Amino acid sequence: MDAAAMIAAHIELNSGMDRLRQVRPEFAAADADTISAILSEAAKFSSAYLAPLNPIADQEACRLEDGRVRTVAGHRDAWKAFVDGGWPTLDQSADFGGQNLPLVLWAGCQELFDRGCVAFGMLPGPQRAAAHLLAAWGDEATKSEWLPKLVTGEWGATICISEADAGSDVGRLRTTAAVDDTGIWRITGEKMWISFGDHDLTPRIGHFLLARETGPSGGISLFLVPDTITNPDGETSRNAIVVRRIEEKMGLHGSPTCALGFEGAQAFLVGQPGRGLAQLFVMITNMRLSVGVQGLGLASLAADIGAAYAEERRQGGSPKSPAVPIVQHRDIQRLLLGMEARVEMLRGLILTAAIQADLATHESDPDAAARARGLTQWLLPIVKTTGGEFAFDNANDAIQVLGGAGYTREWPVEQILRDARVFTVYEGTTGMQAIDLLHRRLWKDEGAGLKLFLQDARQCAARCAAPDHVSALQCFDLLEDAAKQLGALASSPRNAEASATAFLHLASTCALSWIAVQLADLDGSPLHARLGILGRYWLKSAKAHADLAHSQVREGATLLSEFDALRSNRSM
């Protein structure tokens, strides 16, 4: 099935889309025909520019020459076409050159782009995040200069947070910010893991950076550090930023992950002093959703490659007859059904999260806005983690379908597996997402998002006529029970944290089952029939997955009781 058509079907089936068009008049222009047309054009762009670029970027990789990063052949042409086509502007504010379209349409288009070349999307992703960050916290002069350029893609942007001994533990960062004798902020320190930290695709790059202010407060603030500076006479020069290296990575070779040195670089304060870390939270929705979409794009591509190969590859059957297509073998059918079900349940979940995120911002009713916000916050760690896991799982299963061929570079599934591996690592590992779900969403928020989710999920399951809807209700009961168990351990967080990842996986199974009960009764058109089949298939095994995760939550720290003994034994 055509991915663009499936995305459009999911969007129109989502009840939140009608509400979004009501509360945001600009979104009324995004009717079904317009959405289908835009998605179709996104698919064409991806096929024409990104799919051909992908193998070149993987094999050649970006390189460091004379202190600057050079991208691979074809990347600049693809970027120019991307910018000229207006693709960076989809969900951005019209005040700065955006199209004021719903976030869900961006998510649908980005999935199609990531199917073509996921490394390519590592540049517009931080640009979008930086634009939202600057719109929220920048002063008028900085916004006027930078936002129109970032929104359209004319200028690039990065997010610089991590340091050698202060990755996720941001409070330990050592990069400093000091005001010089002329009143200019100067940044000194080392940053790493910076996607497109340097490149030759845009004439200017703005680094959005966290640094600790010198002086008594020592607070962590947010700064914009341009890679070029224009003096009062209009002359432009390089800022004091040095590219230390490009990381050698397992995958995403077309995305240069840089280590940068800031050697007294000129900077501009963004927002309030000492509030940099808190201000960064405006990016959380965008970054977690982006990773989920990346995972979906590669999961979808792997499933399509596996299905096409299984129809054409012939092996087995009676020796007296021609070999049969391997799609006739039951184990291949098991793999294909699993891959395609993951894609459609995840697609439905991501698009739902995108719609809820927009409703959280634009709802006119405060109670409805709060409800959408709570549901979005509950879903984001799930979307981020599940997207990464499903991309890797589908790549792994596609290799099984292709057999030895899948392990070779002749087929793209081995690259998909390499590229996908990082999705459960950056923007917070699976364990960190699990801790966030436990501490912030279950304990700090007193499970407000979980309660909203369970209420909606149970109502959807009750309306479902498919026999296996009962399994979804049982999954939801297990999630509620697990939440109660962990809630009782709030005073003993270390023990509860032993169950956090299992709780996240249980929550993921339930979120995907919520989508499944909304699809299971569909029939009629080929698109709807397909979604109905896969929804019913998902429900058949959901309870088994939930039982396993629930038992791991229940066992919790007991499962880790031998770790100290093992560690002691290992040191002998």
Catalogue the active-site residues: 427
Run of H or E including 361:
helix 330-362
Q: What is the DSSP letter of 72?
A: P
Q: Residue 558 has what DSSP assignment? A: G
Q: Radius of gyration (Cα) for the chain, nearest Å?
A: 24
CB-neighbour burial class of residue 508 (10 A; exposed 0-12, middle 13-18, buried 19+) = buried
For residues 381 and 387, give the distance between their C-alpha atoms in angstroms, rounded to a whole number. Answer: 10
| SS3 labels along 440-488 | HHHHHCCCHHHHHHHHHHHHHHHHCCCCCHHHHHHHHHHHHHHHHHHHC
DSSP 298-346: HHHHHHHHHHHHHHH-B--S-TTSPPPBGGGSHHHHHHHHHHHHHHHHH
User: Would you call 7 helix, strand, or coil by DSSP?
Assistant: helix
Task: Report the distance separating Cα 551 and Cα 82, nearest Å.
Answer: 48
Q: Tell me if residue 31 falls in helix, strand or coil.
A: coil
| CB-based contact 180:187 (threshold 8 Å) | no
Residue given tokens 């007991």 in the structure block: 558
Question: Which amino acid is located at 235 in the chain?
Answer: E
Alpha helices in 99-248 (DSSP H): 103-116, 124-137, 140-152
Residue 564 to residue 147: CA distance in whole angstroms: 52
| Contact criterion met (CB below 8 Å) for 239 and 227 | yes
Closest CA to 19 of 288, 533, 375, 297: 375
Q: How many helices (H) and strands (E) does the chain have?
A: 20, 11
Name the token pair of 562: 């031998």
